[in-house]
A and B are shown apart, each in its own frame.
Chain A
Amino acid sequence: MKRKIGRLALTLLLSFSTVLSACSGGSNEAGDSVSGDGKVTLSFWTLFDGGDGANMQTLVDEFNKSHPDIEVKNTKLAWGEYYTKLVTAVGNGNGPDIGISHSSRLPDLINQGVVTELDTPATDAGVDWNTYNQNLLDAVTVEGQHYAVPIDTHPFIMFYNKKLLKDAGLLGEDGKPILEQSADGFVSFLQTLKEKLPAKTTPFALSNNNDDPYRLWWSLYSQLGGNDVVSDDLKSAAIDKEKGIKAADYVQKLYTEGYIKKNDPDFYKNFQSGTAAIIMTGVWTTGTWESTKGLEFGAMPIPKFYDKEATWGDSHTIVLPLTKDEDPAKRKAAMIFADWVADNGQVWAKAGHIPSKPSVLEKQEFKDLPYRSDYSEVASVVKFSKHSTKNAQIRDEAAFKFLNEVWMNKMTPADAMNNMETAIQKILSE
Chain B
Amino acid sequence: MKIKKMRADLQALVFLLPFLIIYGLFTIWPMIKGVEMTFYKWTLIKKMDFVGLDNFRKVFLDREVWEAIWHSTFFVFLSTPTMIILAILLALIANRKSSLQKFYRIIFFIPSVLSVAVAAYLGLFVFQPYTGFVNSFLHLVQLLPQNAEIFWLTETGLAWVVITVITLWWTVGFNFILYLSAMQEIPDEIYEAARLDGASDTQIFWRITLPYLNPLTKTITMLQIIASYKVFMQIYVITGGGPLDQTRPIIQLIYQTGFKNNNLGYAATMSYILFVILLVLSALQYWMTNRKGAEY
Chain A contacts to B: CB under 8 angstroms: 1, 5, 8-9, 12, 16, 84, 87-88, 90-91, 108, 112-114, 208-209, 262-266, 392-393, 396-397, 401-402, 404-405, 408, 410, 430
CB pair B151–A263 under 8 Å, yes or no, is yes
A393 with B261, Cβ < 8 A, contacts A5-B14, A16-B21 known: yes
**Bound form: Cα–Cα A378–B18 in Å:** 61
**Bound form: Cα–Cα A157–B181 in Å:** 61
CB pair B130–A90 under 8 Å, yes or no, is no
**Bound form: Cα–Cα A1–B262 in Å:** 54
Closest 10 CB pairs of A and B: A91-B45, A265-B128, A87-B44, A263-B129, A263-B151, A9-B14, A393-B261, A84-B259, A88-B44, A112-B45
Chain B contacts to A: CB under 8 angstroms: 7, 10-11, 14, 17-18, 21, 43-46, 128-132, 149, 151, 154, 242-245, 256, 259-263
CB pair A112–B154 under 8 Å, yes or no, is no
Can you identify 29 A-B contacts, CB atoms within 8 angstroms? A8-B14, A9-B14, A12-B18, A16-B17, A16-B18, A16-B21, A84-B260, A87-B44, A87-B45, A88-B44, A91-B44, A112-B45, A208-B154, A209-B242, A262-B149, A263-B129, A263-B130, A263-B149, A264-B130, A265-B130, A266-B131, A392-B260, A393-B261, A396-B260, A401-B244, A402-B244, A404-B242, A405-B243, A430-B263
Partner of A12, one of B7, B17, B46, B244: B17
CB pair A401–B14 under 8 Å, yes or no, is no
Residues of chain A with a CB closer than 8 A to B259's CB:
84
**Bound form: Cα–Cα A90–B45 in Å:** 8
CB pair B260–A112 under 8 Å, yes or no, is no
Residues of chain B with a CB closer than 8 A to A404's CB:
242-244
Residue of A nearest to B261 (CB): A393
CB pair B154–A265 under 8 Å, yes or no, is no
* Among B10, B45, B149, residue most surrounded by chain A Cβ atoms (within 10 Å): B45
Partner of A393, one of B7, B130, B149, B260: B260
A1 with B7, Cβ < 8 A, contacts A84-B259, A401-B244 known: yes
**Bound form: Cα–Cα A12–B18 in Å:** 8
**Bound form: Cα–Cα A405–B132 in Å:** 23
A408 with B44, Cβ < 8 A, contacts A12-B17, A16-B18, A16-B21 known: no
CB pair B44–A112 under 8 Å, yes or no, is yes
Minimum CB–CB distance from B32 to chain A (whole Å) comes to 18
Given contacts A87-B262, A405-B244, 10 further A-B contacts (CB under 8 A): A91-B46, A114-B45, A208-B154, A209-B242, A263-B154, A264-B130, A265-B132, A393-B260, A401-B244, A401-B245
Residues of chain A with a CB closer than 8 A to B7's CB:
1, 5
Residues of chain B with a CB closer than 8 A to A396's CB:
260
Minimum CB–CB distance from A141 to chain B (whole Å) comes to 23
A265 with B131, Cβ < 8 A, contacts A401-B245, A405-B244 known: yes
Partner of B44, one of A8, A84, A397, A405: A84
Minimum CB–CB distance from A229 to chain B (whole Å) comes to 17
